[in-house]
Amino acid sequence: MHSQNDLDSNRFVIIVITMIILFSILLIKIYDLQIVKYYDLYSKSIENIYRKIDILAPRGKILDRYNRVILYNNSSYNLVVYPAEIHEYPETWNKLSQYFQVPVSKFKNTMNKNMVGYYFPALLKENIDYQTLTYLYEHILELQGIDLVAKPVRKIKKGANVAHIIGYTNQIGKKDLKVKKNKKYKAGDIVGWKGIEKEYEDILRGQNGTKYMKINAVGQNIGEEYSKRIEPIPGNDLILTIDWDLQSYVESLIKDTSGAAIVINYLNGEILSLASMPDFNPEIFSTNLSDKKWKDIVYNPKYPLYNRAIQAEYPPGSVYKLVAVITSQEEDVISPYFTFNCPGYYRFGRRIFHCWDRSGHGSENIYDAIEHSCNVYFYNLMLKLDFDKWVKYSKILGFGQPTDIDLPNEKIGNVPDREYMKKTYGRWGKGYLLNFVIGQGDILVTPIQLARYVSIIASNGFDIQPHLVKAIYYHKKNELEKKKYPKEKIESISEHSMNVVREGMRRVMQGEEGTGRHSNVENLDIHGKTGTAQNPHGKDHAWFIGFSEKPSFPYAIVVFVENGEGGSKTAAPIAKKIYKYYWNLHNNEK
């Protein structure tokens, strides 16, 4: 038997061990609370004293080539509510309803629609006017659960919309939020959705700041704790290649059309104007668009959100004939003076392919054929060419691939090669080629591809990336960085071939019978090519490409007009007005 002393000794040991275990648990818990979870608990305690509010950072400004600000930020105030808080104070709804003369149910629907979380602010009213702002600030202590948030709103300089260059901003979508999760985005953040705003999002986007508002026991704001404030960092600025005056003028010329116009410096790839019509006012996206306004834009049959300059894929018509000219010279198929006879039509098997001039052009060499845009000459020429070689030079000249212009969602058009033809048609014959050579059928191009194409011709074979951004100004570093773009000489196209094409284009504008002669501008040495693309759904589409060979004026122009009927009738006269305007403006600027 165990003695009483032994039992007492065992009890003492058990008590000591139990106390050690309990104190150990207590110490571990204290360590966890005081050390491990200190910052989390501290943050939560701070939240009970302060309300953390983002200060939205202004996006970077956008300037034109002469440093004129064309897109900037304007201050606007929004009324927001905190769903979790206002739920506890229904009298706030009644006071807001009485002041704004809006039913409580409508306000609540707006809150529910704009909620991104129960504890996050939900937009109730945008762009509060000064009188309302003053009233709300005076009664802020009586309106528990609301706040007034300053928001930078994008504003555009008067004169042009530059809609398809600038694009617009909007709240980040759920898909983008997942993609950008590592870039410190959160629900409700404003991001670029189209145009330069989207392409240069990482440059233009600033870094939000933070302010801490003291709150009392019932959750009312009683003032800011300025010692904790973190100021926002503005986004960086972009200097574009665009000339604002020229852009405004070009937009005014084509505002009543569906089409596009581009002015580009063919020596360095700088785009001085890029217009697409119809367009829209990007400022409307700075506010919370109603469903009706959004539907009016999206379901507009003329597609104003569609950037025709980089997305319109259409047959190029006769401007594409120059590809066959280059192929024929590089592959030594014919000399420039070899002639074909044009009686006004070309018989291929049982089919008749007509020239645009049914009376015929007679005997034509390659220069005559370009000047008169003779279809029959090019039907004959195409059947002498190796189809694969023609496809090769089409791609060398930039077709069927992106130009890599610094805008999102560029389309690449189509160059029908053997693989495409087999996949699309199975068995196919040479009759298709007669359509291809005159820029019809399955060939599709965009206006920006034609700007690259005419620039290659104008610069005697230099291929440079068309671009819209000239430089970036970094605020933090106080540094201006000039952007560099790739430029290379196309060695596979000789100077001889380029000279043949350029001489033909010179005759188009300056020859006695050139299809563009009525749109020539004296003293600018304009070279060009008109094009009319057949449209089975309505009137033909109109094209013009051209350039000035005057050394002090190295600018190329592309004009495209949907249903414009003819290049010489519609597109070329627009190009003439642009050249005359910019020549006068250019001289004044100098």
Residue with token string 């074979």: 461
Q: What is the pLDDT of residues 241-289, one digit of tens each?
A: 999 999 999 999 999 999 999 999 999 999 999 999 999 988 888 776 6
Decide: 91 and 104 in contact? Cβ < 8 Å.
Answer: no
User: What distance in Å separates the CA atoms of residue 319 and residue 330, rounded to the nearest whole number?
Assistant: 19
Cα gap 567→519, rounded to integer Å: 11
Question: pLDDT per position in the chain (590 positions), as tens?
Answer: 556 666 667 777 788 788 888 888 888 877 766 776 665 655 555 556 777 778 888 999 999 999 999 999 988 888 999 888 888 888 999 999 999 999 999 999 999 988 877 777 888 988 888 899 898 888 887 888 888 888 888 999 999 999 999 999 987 877 777 776 666 787 778 889 999 999 999 999 998 888 887 776 655 566 677 888 888 899 999 999 999 999 999 999 999 999 999 999 999 999 999 999 999 988 888 776 677 777 888 888 889 999 999 999 999 999 999 999 999 999 999 999 999 999 999 999 889 999 999 999 999 999 999 999 999 999 999 999 999 999 999 999 999 999 999 999 999 999 999 999 999 999 999 999 999 999 999 999 999 999 999 999 999 999 999 999 999 999 989 999 999 999 999 999 999 999 999 999 999 999 999 999 999 999 999 999 999 998 888 899 999 999 999 999 999 999 999 999 999 999 999 999 999 999 998 777 64
Residue (of 51, 22, 527) closest to 266 by Cα position? 527
pLDDT, residue 302, reads: 85
pLDDT computed for residue 590 by the predictor: 46
DSSP state letters, 55-102: EPPPPPPEE-TT--EEEEEEEEEEEEE-HHHHTT-HHHHHHHHHHHT-
559 three-state secondary structure: strand
Query: Residue 213 has what pLDDT?
Result: 76
**Residue in this structure with the two tokens 């200097």, named with its chain if needed:** 239
Helices 572-589 and 244-254, axial angle in degrees (round to 10):
160
Which pLDDT tens digit goes with each residue over 474-529?
A: 998 999 999 999 999 999 999 999 999 999 999 999 999 999 999 999 999 999 99
- pLDDT value of residue 30: 76
Q: Are 450 and 545 in contact (CB under 8 A)?
A: yes
Give the per-residue pLDDT at 31. 73
Q: Tell me what pLDDT residue 41 has.
A: 55
CA angle 283, 284, 285 (to 5 degrees): 90
Q: What is the pLDDT of residues 413-434, one digit of tens each?
A: 999 999 999 999 999 999 999 9
Whose structure tokens read 């145009």? Answer: 195
Classify residue 517 by its DSSP letter: G
Closest of 308, 253, 312 to residue 573, by C-alpha: 253
Q: How many CA atoms lie within 13 A of 356 on its CB side?
A: 21
Rounded CA separation 233/237 (Å): 12
pLDDT at 11: 76
Annotate 524-539 with b (16+ C-beta within 10 A) or e (fewer): bbbbbbbbbbeeeeee
Sign of CA dihedral 149, 154, 155, 157: positive
If one counts every other C-beta atom within 10 angstroms of the C-beta of residue 331, the result is 16
Residue pair 264/455 in contact (Cβ under 8 Å)? The answer is yes
Neighbours of 307 (CB within 10 A): 28
Return the domain boundaries, the chain: 4-36, 51-236, 244-333+385-589
Collapsed DSSP state (helix, strand, coil) of residue 282: helix
**74 DSSP β-pair partners:** 153
530 to 195, 279, 340, 427: CA distances (angstroms): 29, 25, 21, 33
Q: How far apart are CA 562 and CA 199, in angstroms?
A: 27
Tell me the two tokens of residue 524: 């600018």
The identity of residue 184, as a single letter, is K
Count the Cβ atoms, other than its own, within 10 Å of residue 407.
26
Roughly how many angstroms between the first and final C-alpha of the chain, as a whole number? 118
Residue 356: its pLDDT value, please? 92
Q: Which two tokens stand for residue 39?
A: 């910052």
- Give the CATH H-level superfamily of domain 51-236: Penicillin-binding protein 2a (Domain 2) (3.90.1310.10)
- Return the CA Rg of the chain: 34
**What is the pLDDT at residue 478?**
93
One CATH from 3.40.710.10, 2.102.10.10, 3.40.50.150, 3.30.420.130 for 244-333+385-589: 3.40.710.10
Which helix (H) or strand (E) segment holds residue 540: the answer is none
Please write down the HEC assignment for all residues of 244-273. HHHHHHHHHHHCCCCEEEEEEECCCCEEEE
pTM to 2 decimals? 0.85
Length of the chain in terms of residues written? 590
- Quote the tokens at residue 236: 């960086």
Q: 3-state DSSP call for residue 50? A: strand
